[in-house]
Structure 1
Amino acid sequence: MAVSLEVASRVGEDLVHLMKAMSALRHHVPRLHPDVETSAYPVIFAVSTGPLRVSAIAERVHSDVSTVSRQVSHLVQAGILEKVTDPGDGRAFNIALAPDGKQLLEDIHESRGQMFATLMADWSSREAKDFDLALRRLHDDLTRTFASSSTCTTTPPSHPSTTGKESM
């Protein structure tokens, strides 16, 4: 069943309001490391699953290579990230989490988890799980849509059944 234009428009508006609220919240979140701005967190998350080249990090965080390169340089100097030799090309290097970066990543997850647990304190477990599932589905749709095209298409991506696929 297709989503009506009215509902889709309302979701779009609500997401814009949510993004603005999250952006404002970002300025009130305490710094977990004195040398790391919250704007660098996406770079840290990008390498959390393993070493990557700067260009791959830029692609994952949807930013240009020059911006990510500056962020990476700063995070390397701060001891959060480190350069490691690319096993496929000994002349090149990848970027990986340094031990301090792994600790910061744990701290970020804990702090963020505590913040959302507080925000959602009066939600039922079912509501939280359903919301998480819907957010993951929306994220997957956005990722899939923009991975296949540089512009948004009007054809909705297909979905496998989400029944029973909760991870909470």
Structure 2
Amino acid sequence: MRSKNGSNKDADTLLDGIGPAFSRLRRHAPTGRKDFSRNLILNVVADGTAEMTVGAVAEELKVDPSVASRMVSDCIEQGLLLRAASQTDGRRTVLEITPEGQALRDEFARQQREAFERITADWEQTERLQFARLLLKYTEASTAYRKREATS
């Protein structure tokens, strides 16, 4: 049976489940809430293509600047980030990951890989690798889409 937009009803049901599935993944991260927030901040700063400011972190995470400021301040207090003068505009303050922050980021990545391997332990290896490739492809396409939207 075809739906009103001409697609397969089973495909629509499958695709409609993606949003709630992403939400469940986020809620069941393999780290505690504080670690989850720190991991988000560290990844945003590390993945930034330009100098990262608190405002850029807020924009990337789609949160209020005061929320981003508290999250960044926590990372600074923990020695994971530091504030530095911008190399292009000395009046601006940018964020940099410390060696401790990079070590924690690496530890988060290790924990996430272990969780993925435990969760998918009964999958065929080809399924695990295919899912990993497609997830990475999806995140790269999502990043490219957001960049295109921001410039249009």
User: For 1:5 and 1:81, how far apart are their aligned partners in 2?
Assistant: 48
User: For 2:8 and 2:42, how far apart are their aligned partners in 1?
Assistant: 37
Q: How many residues align?
A: 143
Deviations 1:10-51 (A, max 9, x none): 23332234224323423xx3449xxx4413321110112465
Change in Cα spacing, 1:30 to 1:65, as seen in structure 2 (3 Å) is: closer
Report the counterpart of residue 76 of structure 2 in structure 1. Answer: 76
User: For 1:22 and 1:108, how far apart are their aligned partners in 2?
Assistant: 15
Select between 9-18 and 102-111 the one with higher mean Cα deviation.
9-18
Asked whether 1:18 is paired with 2:52, we answer no
Q: By percentage of residues, which structure has more helix?
A: 2
Q: Tell me the percent identity.
A: 22
1:108 Cα deviation (Å)? 0.3
Structure 1 vs Structure 2 CA RMSD: 2.7
User: For 1:86 and 1:8, how far apart are their aligned partners in 2?
Assistant: 48
Change in Cα spacing, 1:135 to 1:11, as seen in structure 2 (3 Å) is: farther
Asked whether 1:55 is paired with 2:52, we answer no
**Conserved? CA contact 2:83–2:96, under 8 Å:** yes
**TM-score of the pair, normalised by structure 2:** 0.75
Change in Cα spacing, 1:96 to 1:60, as seen in structure 2 (3 Å) is: same
Deviations 1:82-119 (A, max 9, x none): 11111001121110112221111111011111111111
Report the counterpart of residue 125 of structure 2 in structure 1. Answer: 125
Question: Which runs of structure 2 are paired with 1:103-114 in the superposition (5 Å)?
Answer: 103-114=103-114
Q: Which amino acid aligns with 2:56?
A: A
Which 5+ residue runs of structure 1 have no aligned equivalent? 151-168
1:90 aligns to what SS in structure 2?
coil
Deviations 1:50-89 (A, max 9, x none): 6512222223333333321221112111211111111001
Change in Cα spacing, 1:53 to 1:119, as seen in structure 2 (3 Å) is: same
1:4 Cα deviation (Å)? 2.9
**Conserved? CA contact 2:54–2:94, under 8 Å:** yes
**Conserved? CA contact 2:83–2:95, under 8 Å:** yes
Query: After TM superposition, where is structure 1 displaced by more than 4 Å over at least 4 residues in a row?
Result: none
**TM-score of the pair, normalised by structure 1:** 0.69
Which 5+ residue runs of structure 2 have no aligned equivalent? 1-5
Q: Which amino acid aligns with 2:124?
A: S
